Structure 1
Amino acid sequence: MLIHSWDAPSDDTEWQTWLAEHDFGQLAGNGLPGDPPWVQPLHFAYDAGRREAVTHLARPNPLWPALEADPSVVLSVVDDYTFIPGPWQAAEDTPPEHGVPTSFYAAVQLRCTARVVDAPEEKAELLRRQMAHFQPEGGSAPVTADDPPYGRMLSGIRALRLEVSEVRAKFKYAGKKSREVQERIAQRLADRDGPRDAAARSRQLRRMAVKDC
C-alpha cells in the first residue's frame, strides 16, 4: 500500500482510535506452492496493549495448511470509503472538467505472525477475550473448556493469535489539495449524502482540523 506523507496518520493515536472502531477485516496469507494467496474475511479483537489480534475459524477451513507452512500474514481493514468525482477535485483556476476523480478511504494493515492455538484451555481464554469485546453486555453462558455449550464445540474450531510486527495506516482524504478544494469536497459529500459519504466526510473534516492546529 502506497502511503504519501499527506495520507499518513498524524500520529499513532489516529490509526489506533480508528481501528478500535473497526473489528472486521480480511486476513491475507501466502498460499501453498502453486496456490494463490488466501484471503479470509473475519471478525477479530485487537488488543493494543498486547499488540495482537485474536480470532478463530472453523477447523475445516482450508486456510490452516497455508498458515502452518508460512505464518506471515496481513490483517487488512478498509472502511470510510467513497468515490470522489473529478469536478469536485479541480483546482480553483482549473475548469471543473479537468479535475481527476479519486477514492477516499481509511485503511490499516497489520503485518502479523499467526500462532495457531489448539489447546482447549487457551482456546477458551481467547474466546472469552473475543466475547468481552463483541458482547460486553454478557447474556451468554461462560466460555469454558469443559462446560456446555462451548466446551463440546471447542474441538470444531482453531484459534489464532496474530502477533503484530508492523502497522501501515493510510487516510486518503485529499490531504494534498488546497483548503478551498477540501472544503468544496466536504460540502459536495454532504449534498450527495450517499452510502459512506457521511463517514468519509467526518474523517476528512477531522484531518483538516488536525492540520489547522
Structure 2
Amino acid sequence: MLIRSWDRGEEAEWRAWLAEGRDFGLLAANGPPGAGPLLTPTHFLLDADRGEILIHLAAPNPLWAALRADPHATLAVTDDYAFAPGHWRATGGTPPEHSTPTSYYASVQFDCTAEILDDPADKAEVLTRQLAHFQPETPIDPIVPGSGPFGGQLPGIRALRLTVVRVRAKFKYDDKKPPAVQAVAAERLAERALPRDAGARAQLLRRAAARAPGCPVD
C-alpha cells in the first residue's frame, strides 16, 4: 500500500478509527509456491496495547497449512471508501472535465507473525475473549474443553495469535488539495448519498479540520 506523507495515519488516529467498531478484515498469507496468496475474511480481536490480534477459524481452512509453511501474515481493514469523480477535484483553473478522479478510503494493515494455537485450553481462552468483545450483552458459561455447551466443539476450530510487527495506516481524502476542494467534495458526497458516502465524508471533514493552516505537503 502506497502511503504519501499527506495521507499517513497516526497511531492515535487508526486506533480510534478501529475502536468505532471496525473488527472485520481480510487476513492474507502466502500460498504454496506458484499460487497466489490465500485470503480469508474474518472477525478479529485487536489488543493494541499488547500488540496482538486474536482470531479463530475452522480447522479445515487452508490458511493453516500456509501459515505453517510461512508464519508471515497481513490483516487489512478497509472502510469509508468512495469514488470521487474528477470534476469534483479541479484546481488551478483546470477544466472540471480534465481533472482526474480518485478513490477515498481508510485502510489499516497489520504485518504480523502468526502462532497457531491448537491446545484446547488456548482455544477456549481465545473464544472467551472474543465472545466477551463481540457479545458482551450475553455472558456465557466458562468454556471448558470437552464439556458442553461449547467445549465439545473446540476440535472443529483452531485459534491464531498474530504478533504485530508493523502497522501501516492510510487515510486518503485529498489532504494535498486546497481546503476549498475538500469542501466541494464533502458537499458532493452529501448530495450523492451512496451507501458509504457518509462515512467517507465524515473522514474527509475530520482530516480537513485537523490540518494546520498552511501545513506543507510533499
TM-score calculated relative to the size of structure 2: 0.94
The 4+ residue runs of structure 1 with deviation greater than 3 A are: 139-142
Deviation at 1:16, TM superposition (A): 0.9
SS where residue 25 of structure 2 aligns?
strand
List aligned pairs for 1:27-38, cutoff 5 A: 27-38=27-38
For residues 38 and 8 of structure 2, the distance between their equivalents in structure 1, rounded to whole angstroms, comes to 27
SS where residue 123 of structure 1 aligns?
helix
Q: Is the 8 A contact 1:92 1:180 kept in 2?
A: no
Which stretch of structure 1 is more off in the superposition, 110-119 or 17-26?
Answer: 17-26
Residue of structure 1 in register with 2:118 after alignment: 118
Residue of structure 2 in register with 1:134 after alignment: 134
For residues 150 and 209 of structure 1, the distance between their equivalents in structure 2, rounded to whole angstroms, comes to 48
For residues 159 and 189 of structure 1, the distance between their equivalents in structure 2, rounded to whole angstroms, comes to 41
List aligned pairs for 1:100-179, cutoff 5 A: 100-179=100-179
Q: How well do the aligned residues superpose, as a CA RMSD in angstroms?
A: 1.2
Which stretch of structure 1 is more off in the superposition, 75-84 or 34-43?
Answer: 34-43
For residues 8 and 22 of structure 1, the distance between their equivalents in structure 2, rounded to whole angstroms, comes to 19
List aligned pairs for 1:28-107, cutoff 5 A: 28-107=28-107
Residue of structure 2 in register with 1:206 after alignment: 206
Residue of structure 2 in register with 1:184 after alignment: 184
Residue of structure 2 in register with 1:17 after alignment: 16
SS where residue 56 of structure 1 aligns?
strand
Deviation at 1:4, TM superposition (A): 0.3
SS where residue 153 of structure 1 aligns?
helix
For residues 145 and 137 of structure 1, the distance between their equivalents in structure 2, rounded to whole angstroms, comes to 23
For residues 52 and 191 of structure 1, the distance between their equivalents in structure 2, rounded to whole angstroms, comes to 40
Q: What runs of 5+ residues in structure 1 fail to find an aligned partner?
A: none
Deviation at 1:149, TM superposition (A): 1.3
Deviation at 1:144, TM superposition (A): 2.5
Q: Is the 8 A contact 1:92 1:181 kept in 2?
A: no
Q: Is the 8 A contact 1:44 1:54 kept in 2?
A: yes
For residues 209 and 131 of structure 2, the distance between their equivalents in structure 1, rounded to whole angstroms, comes to 35
For residues 92 and 137 of structure 1, the distance between their equivalents in structure 2, rounded to whole angstroms, comes to 54
SS where residue 154 of structure 1 aligns?
helix
Deviation at 1:171, TM superposition (A): 0.3
SS where residue 211 of structure 2 aligns?
helix
**Cα deviation digits, residues 34-57 of structure 1 (max 9, x gap):** 222111110101011111110111
TM-score calculated relative to the size of structure 1: 0.96
AA matched with 1:207? R
AA matched with 1:132? A
**Cα deviation digits, residues 56-83 of structure 1 (max 9, x gap):** 1111111111100100000011110000
AA matched with 1:99? S
